Chain A
Amino acid sequence: MSQEVENIKVTETGTVNAPETAKTETETGSKNSPAEASSFSPPTIYSETVGHVGGFEIRNTLLMSWISVLFLCIVAWRFSRKYMESAVPTGFQNLVETVIEGLYDFFHSVTQDTKQTKQFFGVCATIFFFVVVSNWFGIFPGVGPIGIWEVEEGHKILVPLFRSTFSDVNMTLAIAFISVFMTQVYGMMNLKFGGYWGKFFVNPLRDPIGFAVGLLELVSEFSKIISFSFRLYGNIFAGEVLLAVIGFLAPYLAPFPFYGLELFVGLIQGLVFSLLTLVFFKMGSTGHGEHDEVAHTSDPSRDAPAGVQKHAVTAS
């Protein structure tokens, strides 16, 4: 598990550099041979607008998001037909059931509490499926190359019609908001209003250190939004850039292992996002006395999976 986290870290740091190198490459390319430069356009940092409905601009990432949602809804609908009536599920239903059950058991091993597992399962599992499906759809052939020609600043550029959903900060930010918001909601549900906010706001006269720690935790609670959204965005955007660069340098066979890598990264990112959400839910729903044991998992990207195991050990 820690090795996977290492991998993620590597790709994460890669994101910071990747757009830069891609850019410099195009710049040098454009100086030497203009024809080549026009054939390679790296993915932009932001998502592009592909259309308007009324005053609302629709971006390519939102189109992909709709496709993912539609796909998952169709799967859900196909699955639920005649599911409750059949005593022994077959084929497709069995597959879905196995995945759900596996995920449930996995989440349960983290929370160690049936009530909480049931409470948290919906949001965490939905994050997992949404992120994984979106990421995998994002590396479909045709996502990127198919687009609309637009003229921008005198250049004719191809605006992709589809773009991997989470290579857009808007999209990751929305999920991160959900995650952090639901952490507060579940925390208040499990610890009551006063019990939950009492973790952050400590009387400074009685416990000055606790007061400072509480404020720090409050800040870290909201910094999670940033870390959540940029981790996923960075990974997926880096993947986009990586595939574009490799595809440009060696269009045949060479991108193949990178597609495998991106499939893997897509899965791992989904797992990391949902698991971290689950861990934060669990931490938010744990009282102050027990809280200290898991407090050091608050550095989300590095310690979380190890912290999960640690927590599982202390809980058992």
Chain B
Amino acid sequence: MELISKLGINLGMLAAQLVNFLLLLFILKKFVYGPVLEKLEQRRNMIAKSVSDSKAADETLKDIEKARSEMIEKTKSQSLAMIEAAAASAEEAKNSITESARREAQAIFEQSKLQIAREKEKMLKEASEELGRLVVKAAEKIIEREFTPEDQKRLAMQATEQFGQK
């Protein structure tokens, strides 16, 4: 008891200090601790979110990149196929054109050959007839008389035969 009075212990003071502390606790909690801890939490969440966001963005970018290269690859192969197809069809067209041209040329050639043969035959016939007549005229001149139609006929025949044999 003496110690208590010597130290000046006083219930009123004690209570006042308790009130002081509790008031301070309340105010600091309301105005400082609460907001700061909340803000720190927010900041932590924000950082976590932005990290995951950037990861997601990276992922998306990678996907896009992949899709892009795939598309390029596809386009490239497609165009290559198209070029090949075009080249093939051109080749085919060329071949068919050449073929038809060749065939036509062949046909023309055949025809002209036939015609030439026919012309030649005709010419030869005419020439042999002409020759027969010439032979008869020459023989007439040589013998100075006119051949009878029988003679003429015979001579011409002879000449033509000989010509033909040659």
Q: Taking the nearest CB of chain B, how far is it from the CB of A152, in angstroms?
A: 14
Residue numbers in A under 8 Å from B10 (CB-CB): 57, 59, 170
A-B contact pairs, 30 of them (CB 8 A): A45-B6, A46-B8, A57-B10, A57-B13, A59-B13, A62-B16, A62-B17, A69-B20, A69-B24, A72-B24, A72-B27, A76-B27, A76-B32, A77-B31, A79-B31, A84-B38, A97-B36, A100-B33, A100-B37, A118-B37, A122-B25, A126-B29, A130-B24, A170-B9, A170-B13, A171-B17, A174-B14, A174-B18, A174-B20, A178-B21
A65 at the interface (CB under 8 A from B): yes
Q: Which 8 A-B pairs have the closest CB atoms?
A: A46-B8, A174-B17, A80-B31, A170-B13, A76-B31, A100-B36, A169-B7, A126-B25
Majority SS at the chain A contact face: helix
B149 at the interface (CB under 8 A from A): no
A47 at the interface (CB under 8 A from B): yes
Residue numbers in B under 8 Å from A170 (CB-CB): 8-10, 13-14, 17
Known: A46-B8, A57-B10. A122 touches B35 (CB 8 A): no
A197 CA / B10 CA spacing, docked (Å): 31
Residue numbers in A under 8 Å from B40 (CB-CB): 97, 101, 104
Known: A46-B8, A76-B27. A175 touches B17 (CB 8 A): yes
Known: A46-B8, A84-B39. A125 touches B16 (CB 8 A): no
Q: Is the CB of B32 within 8 A of A79?
A: yes
Q: Taking the nearest CB of chain B, how far is it from the CB of A93, in angstroms?
A: 9
Residue numbers in A under 8 Å from B16 (CB-CB): 56, 62, 65
Known: A76-B31, A76-B32. A175 touches B8 (CB 8 A): no
Kindly identify, within residues 35 to 79 of chain B, every residue whose CB is under 8 Å from any CB belonging to chain A: 35-40
B90 at the interface (CB under 8 A from A): no
Cβ-closest chain B residue relative to A89: B39
Cβ-closest chain A residue relative to B8: A46
A276 at the interface (CB under 8 A from B): no
Q: Is the CB of B21 within 8 A of A130?
A: yes
A66 at the interface (CB under 8 A from B): yes
Q: Which chain B residues have a beta carbon within 8 Å of chain A's beta carbons?
A: 6-10, 12-18, 20-25, 27-33, 35-40
Q: Which chain A residues have a beta carbon within 8 Å of chain B's beta carbons?
A: 45-47, 56-57, 59, 61-62, 65-66, 69, 72-73, 76-77, 79-80, 83-84, 96-97, 100-101, 104, 118, 121-123, 125-127, 129-130, 168-171, 173-175, 177-178
Q: Taking the nearest CB of chain A, how far is it from the CB of B30, in angstroms?
A: 8
Residue numbers in A under 8 Å from B35 (CB-CB): 80, 83-84
Q: Taking the nearest CB of chain A, how far is it from the CB of B7, in angstroms?
A: 4
Contact of B20 among A57, A65, A80 (CB under 8 A): A65
A174 CA / B17 CA spacing, docked (Å): 6
Q: Is the CB of B39 within 8 A of A83?
A: yes
Residue numbers in B under 8 Å from A175 (CB-CB): 17, 21
Q: Taking the nearest CB of chain B, how far is it from the CB of A99, in angstroms?
A: 9
Q: Taking the nearest CB of chain A, how far is it from the CB of B144, in angstroms?
A: 146
